Structure 1
């Protein structure tokens, strides 16, 4: 009788030996299954036994390495970098221990910097870093290279994005990765920091609205006299962003004892501001003052200035912009939009020799210089002096 040969970790199907082994629980998180099974491609027990033992030995060695990766080394928290030195087969090599991938970075970034920010901020971080995951993979950050950054750039260019859009996406990616690495104490060289591309490609220059066109629009607003026209007129002579105007409360509109009207641009739960410099008070003149009076007469205190754009928890600035720009097509040259009034405001103030820091305060633009952060800015009376100079008589 021939001697029976035992082949461990095997089973026989149709006379062919197969290897089978369950994956240990402590390394199962690295797999998509609970066991490993494959054909040993032999009908001979002795060959199957040899191949099965060799496969089992290879798995034991690999699983040991996986387990070691999950073990916290003594004193690891004292290392200056995220790399450790391991000796293998007599050779010393550097092994990265960073376990922070791109999606982890987004989570850390939003968890810290996203507090109190609107949905736009959160969507931008998630969407822009999502491009990295889509085109490069959800890699650990120490695996990201300049080749990945260039690959993302090429993909965005292929999508037909303008240079300004690519700049915003890469800027967000840089910020998210740098912030998360800093929070986790990881020494990280960001490959998205110096990516070359044509920043002017496909960029549409927003043209300012010219004086004669502003007067035509203002006259049309007075004639039609409804809430959409009040919105246009309010922006035309104040330089407000359309989201700032659409999200106003009637209580933000102030009338002093002399009958002068001004508007406070402050953050609201339903409409946040773009920057900290955006919080300001603007004296209203010309069509803006007319629109504010019509709003107060129609809506009264204690309500939204534009209820139709504030039916939910968040001001629908996109709807306001779409409605205003659709109407303006009949009055403005091609390439000019609602935002052009904001560009015009800066030019109009320059024309009356308004100091640059007053221009910045009226428009809510950031002013360069440490000294500009001191004090409370110019009083409203000073701002009004220059705003009166640019008012058009309709």
Structure 2
């Protein structure tokens, strides 16, 4: 046998020839392939690996069983092998402890100190008792605590709020104290079915009612509005993300919630639509822009008052900048400033005045957006200077800070009522439609795609290299201003907004 494992042959002239392997190969020499021997006690039942070991003969009567069996709860062989070593060590320790206990009993010196770990002692009970008594690993609530506190994960305040909301629903349905390793695919499907009938604004409308009870009520009463497919899938996606984390941390062997989503009847592009021209005309010709009784309760009544706060400016700013609603609502006065001679909105979670009430959806949301010429003509500069002169910290300090830390919550509710009051509401349109309209306006103006994505704070994807995007400091403000100046909504006339009191002196 060749020690190297490589076959060769010598001819009569003592020369080594390698051209004809079939002639050169010796019968007693071959290439050795690696062999992966089976791990002790590991075997496959269906798709899940199990651990089994025979109980020594001298301990069978004391332990009441012939074999120790435990499910390793994973379909990964490599993970099963690692887990089996830990289980084997625990079982060996039990055997030794039991022998010691028997020996002391024989000598009449039985000690009262515990010798067998409770979680492992359950494993060696007869199979009929084990199935009902076995509890393995941390609970769902404990895993959620560890997941949300993981320092390697960076999450915005809004993302944390979404995870906390999902957690409350999941724990209510599956049970906070349920061992995470015991959660099955059927239970996850039951969670999905319950979410299908989850009422909108659950805690507000139903108080402390259990999620299952609220879902049953909604299923029986079709007048109760339930969450849409997008929100339902978002709940399941966040739960599945947590379970994937648990798999990576080796708390469970596989994710039973993987891929559980409902098929949505609405195409992604049809979930939200831009405002149509007639809607934009009604919005910006409403009394709050042309003259109303007052800016609060009388905003829909014709009068002589010209609004000057958030209800006037936020829709206009989002129309011509593509900002998300909360990005506009949370602006500090110092976030509107000149950069290289261009008046810009600085969209950032950081604050020059030390406030801590700002957050962004994604990392790419941090950007600068030059003020559109239409905003300048309407009097944005004068408005900002007036707020600065008043010593205001927030640009829209007339917006209350919601319980969840977002100024956009109250404004969003008001804007929904506002659309109804001017008869401009329609299916698939809401405040976010301004952002959809801005993206279409960028396309119609033939603005470079990369510039459009950066103006709107969208994540670049497709063929774009994320590594390359990390280099440099971005586009010059003047170039961005030239691009955003091309934004136009054909047929929308806003000249009436250039009121003398809005103009800079």
Whether the TM-score (by the shorter chain) exceeds 0.5 is yes
Q: CA deviation at 1:360?
A: 0.9
Q: CA deviation at 1:115?
A: 7.9
Cα distance in structure 1, aligned partners of 2:227 and 2:385:
45
Q: Is the 8 A contact 1:244 1:273 kept in 2?
A: yes
Q: Do the aligned partners of residues 96 and 284 (structure 1) sit closer, same or farther apart at CA in structure 2, a change above 3 Å counting?
A: farther
SS in 1 for 2:87: strand
SS in 2 for 1:112: coil
**Equivalent residue in structure 1 for 2:82, among 80, 83, 106:** 80
Match of 1:263 in 2: 345
1:303 aligns with 2:306: no
SS in 2 for 1:384: helix
Q: CA deviation at 1:116?
A: 7.3
Match of 1:7 in 2: none
**Equivalent residue in structure 1 for 2:271, among 195, 205, 227:** 205
Match of 2:380 in 1: 292
1:340 aligns with 2:439: no
Q: Which has the higher strand share?
A: 1
Q: CA deviation at 1:155?
A: 0.8
1:178 aligns with 2:244: yes
Q: Is the 8 A contact 1:150 1:195 kept in 2?
A: yes
Q: Is the 8 A contact 2:158 2:361 kept in 1?
A: no
1:1-394 matches, cutoff 5 A? 80-81=82-83, 84-85=87-88, 86=91, 88=124, 98-112=136-150, 117=155, 119-138=157-176, 139-159=178-198, 160-183=226-249, 185-200=250-265, 205-211=271-277, 213-220=279-286, 222-223=289-290, 224-227=306-309, 228-255=311-338, 260-268=342-350, 269-289=356-376, 290=378, 292-300=380-388, 303-310=393-400, 314-329=405-420, 330=422, 332-335=424-427, 336-368=429-461, 369-370=464-465, 371-391=468-488, 394=494
Q: CA deviation at 1:248?
A: 0.3
Q: Is the 8 A contact 1:273 1:279 kept in 2?
A: yes
Cα distance in structure 2, aligned partners of 1:105 and 1:153:
20
Q: CA deviation at 1:355?
A: 2.0
**How big is each residue's C-alpha offset from its partner over 1:4-32, in whole Å with a ceiling of 9 and x where there is no partner?**
xxxxxxxxxxxxxxxxxxxxxxxxxxxxx
Cα distance in structure 2, aligned partners of 1:239 and 1:141:
42
Q: Do the aligned partners of residues 189 and 286 (structure 1) sit closer, same or farther apart at CA in structure 2, a change above 3 Å counting?
A: same
Select the structure with the greater relative contact order (CA < 8 A; seq sep ≥ 6).
1
Q: CA deviation at 1:182?
A: 2.9
**How big is each residue's C-alpha offset from its partner over 1:163-221, in whole Å with a ceiling of 9 and x where there is no partner?**
111111111111222224434x4352001112142233699822201345435534556
Cα distance in structure 1, aligned partners of 2:266 and 2:135:
40
Q: CA deviation at 1:319?
A: 0.6
Cα distance in structure 2, aligned partners of 1:379 and 1:171:
38
Cα distance in structure 2, aligned partners of 1:294 and 1:149:
56
Q: CA deviation at 1:331?
A: 5.9
Match of 2:58 in 1: none
Cα distance in structure 1, aligned partners of 2:393 and 2:274:
32
Cα distance in structure 1, aligned partners of 2:483 and 2:126:
78
TM-score where L is the length of structure 1: 0.70
**How big is each residue's C-alpha offset from its partner over 1:299-319, in whole Å with a ceiling of 9 and x where there is no partner?**
116621000225579342101
Unaligned runs of 5+ residues in structure 1 are 1-59, 63-77
Q: Do the aligned partners of residues 118 and 278 (structure 1) sit closer, same or farther apart at CA in structure 2, a change above 3 Å counting?
A: closer
Cα distance in structure 2, aligned partners of 1:243 and 1:306:
11
Q: Is the 8 A contact 2:137 2:251 kept in 1?
A: no
SS in 2 for 1:106: helix
Match of 1:56 in 2: none
Where in structure 1 do 4 or more consecutive aligned residues deviate above 4 Å?
85-91, 93-98, 113-119, 201-204, 219-222, 310-313
Cα distance in structure 2, aligned partners of 1:361 and 1:277:
8
Cα distance in structure 2, aligned partners of 1:347 and 1:90:
68
Cα distance in structure 2, aligned partners of 1:111 and 1:346:
36
Q: Do the aligned partners of residues 177 and 197 (structure 1) sit closer, same or farther apart at CA in structure 2, a change above 3 Å counting?
A: same
Q: CA deviation at 1:377?
A: 2.7
TM-score where L is the length of structure 2: 0.56
Cα distance in structure 2, aligned partners of 1:201 and 1:155:
21
Cα distance in structure 2, aligned partners of 1:188 and 1:270:
40
Unaligned runs of 5+ residues in structure 2 are 1-61, 65-79, 92-122, 199-225, 291-305, 351-355, 495-505
